[in-house]
Amino acid sequence: MSIVVASNFTPSCVVLPAAAQVVSRQPTRKSLKRSLGIAIQDFNLKLSTVITDVSRQIEGRDVTGYTIEADVYKDVDVIVNLIGKLLEEDDFKIEEVSLNTSFSNETAESDFIASTWLAAVALSKEVFLRIPDIELGLSLSFQSSTLEISRMLQRRQFAYRIMVIERATGYKFNLPSEISAEDVESVAFVYQSVINRSFVFPFSSVTYPNVPATQENMEQFTELSTTPFIVFADSKPIKKTILGKDISLGEGSFVIQHAAIDDWKKVREELSCADDHPVEIVIRSLSGQAKYDLPLAPKLPSTAWTPFVQTLIDLDAELDERLVERYNQLAAATLSNFSDEEKQIAIERNGLEIEVY
């Protein structure tokens, strides 16, 4: 699985009714000297900003729309497209509005802000758009697919975790256009180390490829084979690589819960030879988890975020709740024509478990 950048998302779009607003003053750089206002009602987010650029969209000789750009925060711009047609006396009828974001410099913070903003717009039932200089005021309900919103929130979570790691370590990361599953997992691990220090994380196995076959090792691993959990402590710092940078988490320990040695009977036979030949030993967690303790991991400063960024961080629960509502509505619509028997089959658990970390 991979994650794509927020700037690649399809813009949130709304098609206006036939009685759409007519703007008697066409948007131009000269006429738009001041502000653009956007209020995302459901999340109590309000943006009042200065318009930085206006451009016309032209097909042939006809003006078909206007693109308006304005600052959101630092390196993030909001892009509003007003699509429609010219009427008599140069009046412009707006038939469609789309909203997107762009980056002047792509960082974890700009990525987080953009994906949060777009998700909030897409999930809000009402968004107010105001451009006072041309007497424009619209109440909009944007349309985005539930899958696309889910991807925005997934990318948002990744960007936030990178922000936390940057603040804690002093590193700066350039986010690529696509994030690998390995980087997603490494970022999740380092994030948990910074925030929680002691945490449970998915774990498969640890391999010791060259254990000498000795009586001492046979006795040691025999004892371990009867232990429900095994503690590993390392005097060397634990390291993780994120987007090409090595992050040291300091010395620590981890506990394999529900530990088992693969093919123990064969391993014991080889160790009992006591001839020093190398034996490969794999210790596996039957629960698929291990508990890590990393007390020396980097710490997040107490004042890590500006008020604006903190406001967006605090939207976590609301955004997730609205997305769940979307999925429930989609499921209800899908099941509306099913019989009771068909509904039961559709909602039965299939035995698959999803790890969330």
My answer on whether 138 and 234 are in the same domain is no
My answer on whether 119 and 34 are in the same domain is yes
Confidence grade of residue 5 (pLDDT, cut at 50, 70, 90): very low
Domains of the chain: total: 2
My answer on whether 17 and 131 are in the same domain is yes
Give the CB-side neighbour count of residue 23, counting CA atoms within 13 A.
26
My answer on whether 101 and 32 are in the same domain is yes
Give the residue-averaged pLDDT of 129-152.
85
My answer on whether 204 and 128 are in the same domain is no
Residue 42, SS3 per DSSP = helix
DSSP annotation of 142: -
Least confident of 53-67, 99-113, 305-319: 53-67
Whether 188 maps to a domain, the answer reads no
- Tell me: the pLDDT tens digits for 86-115? 777 667 788 888 888 888 777 899 989 999
Domain that residue 256 falls in: 198-293
Least confident of 48-57, 162-171, 182-191: 48-57
Among 109, 37, 96, CA closest to 67: 96
My answer on whether 32 and 145 are in the same domain is yes
164: CB partners within 8 A, 6+ apart: 191, 194, 195, 300, 304
My answer on whether 15 and 113 are in the same domain is yes
Please say which residue of 293, 326, 342 terminates a domain: 293
DSSP annotation of 285: E
pLDDT above 70 coverage of the chain, percent:
83
- Whether 357 has a pLDDT exceeding 60, the answer reads no
Please say which residue of 99, 124, 154 terminates a domain: 154
pLDDT at 1: 44
- Whether 61 has a pLDDT exceeding 80, the answer reads no
- How many CB atoms neighbour CB 147 within 10 A? 11
